[in-house]
Amino acid sequence: MPQARKQTRNRKANVLIVDDHPIARQGLAQLINQEPDLHVGADVENAVQALEAIKSLKPDLAIVDITLKDGSGLELIKDIKAQFASLPTLVFSMHDESLFAERALEAGALGYVMKEEPTETIIVAIRRVLDGDIYLSKQMIDRLLKKVGNAHGQAVQSPIQVLTDRQFEIFNLYGQGKRTREIAELLHVSQKTVESHRANIMKKLNIQGAPELARYACQWGNSGA
């Protein structure tokens, strides 16, 4: 994939932004378009629009948020990997990288940047990923290296890994103290959909009742497991 950057050196790299917040898309696009070697070809709010834009615009990079309208950014990254294998993706999200970065890499992303990072960080990450390299914060790299070292070559699986990406997203939001209605609004789904996911999460984790789920999710998130 390193050749991807070489192909764009004589022109601006074409970037696709996928984020469900219009202001976030506009702000990121303005930041990127200030760079002499980068250009935002399109910005969209959901996975369907993203896949259509990729087909028509053939971008050099897709920047994807974890939470999208009508779907999960992680699932979109998997779809991009399956349908457009040569297109690199970079996650730009409010979600804590210690909880989501590993899942993003497993889905096929080449990098992860939190929205709270300084603006220059996303530009550095964009260029790194365009060069075919992985971009993570130093703290996240150290964390992953420690995890590999502690495993001693054995497969160590967290109970949380049995959750789907969408279930994990909802689990994390419960851990932040969000109520079902708030989660539904954040994810642009019905409360009934969130309740259905919650029931499946509790079944998979052998948890009895919503209060216990919230406590477990909070403890898990604070532990950085």
Q: Judge whether 56 and 44 are in contact, CB under 8 Å.
A: no
Which among 89, 86, 120, 122 has a CA at the least distance from the CA of 106?
89
For residue 206, the domain's CATH number is 1.10.10.10
63: part of which helix (H) or strand (E)?
Answer: strand 61-64
Please state the domain count of the chain: 2
Same domain for 40 and 118, yes or no, is yes
Which pTM value belongs to this model? 0.75
113: part of which helix (H) or strand (E)?
Answer: strand 111-114
**87 token code pair:** 């297109």
The alpha carbon of 180 is separated from its chain's Cα centroid by a whole number of angstroms, namely 21
Q: Is residue 152 part of a domain?
A: no
> What is the average per-residue pLDDT within 101-116?
93
> What is the average per-residue pLDDT within 183-207?
89
| Pair type for strands 61-64 and 89-93 | parallel
Domain assignment of residue 179, given as a range: 159-223
pLDDT value at residue 157: 57
Q: Is residue 150 part of a domain?
A: no
Taking only the tens place, the pLDDT of each residue in 141-170 is 887 777 666 655 454 456 777 888 888 889
Q: Is the pLDDT of residue 128 over 80?
A: yes
Q: Is residue 104 part of a domain?
A: yes
Q: What distances in angstroms separate CA 22 from CA 43, 54, 104, one per listed residue?
A: 9, 19, 23
Ramachandran area for residue 108 (φ above 0: left; ψ -120 to 50: alpha; else beta): left
Same domain for 130 and 82, yes or no, is yes
pLDDT value at residue 12: 92
